[in-house]
Amino acid sequence: MTRKIWILIAVIVLVLLVLVAQVFASTGRTNPPVENQVAWDSPQTQELFSRACADCHSNETKWPWYSKIPPASWLVVHDVNEGREKFNISAQDMGEADDAAEAVLEGEMPMKIYTVMHPEARLTPAERQALAQGLQKTFGGETGEGGEHGKDDDD
């Protein structure tokens, strides 16, 4: 076969793969109902959490444009689902809320890959400290004074 035929076959295969990938592009991009309202210790903690954490740790994810295009969409959906599974402020059972401050202090959160596309989520050392302290006051933790986990008033 000639080189032109190989190129044509490669292009056709690539186009078919892209078309098949589009079928799965929106799979998993959901925002389930919010079941819980958090009683934040301060507006600053709420703002920092919203800016750096909420897309992966709440049911109020703002799905960016690239979350609709495979294969990036698969990574985004995976990271959001994993984040919600570990700690989700929108769920009645929030998960590992008491570990959130430690993850922020240790620089594990927000994830580096997230801050590449979301520069507003990059925290200064002072913001990281303030967020960690606020999370400890709001949710408790090993090094913080635990408060209520922000249950609804009708609980």
| Residue predicted with more confidence, 19 or 98 | 98
Per-residue tokens: 145: 């004074």
CA quadruple 34, 39, 41, 46: dihedral, nearest 10: 20
Q: HSE (CB half, 13 Å, CA atoms) of 2?
A: 3
22: pLDDT strictly greater than 50: yes
150: pLDDT strictly greater than 80: no
72: pLDDT strictly greater than 70: yes
Q: What are the CA-CA distances from residue 30 to residues 34, 62, 68, 81 (Å)? A: 12, 10, 12, 9
Backbone angles phi, psi at 153, to 5 degrees: -65, -30
pLDDT at 149: 44
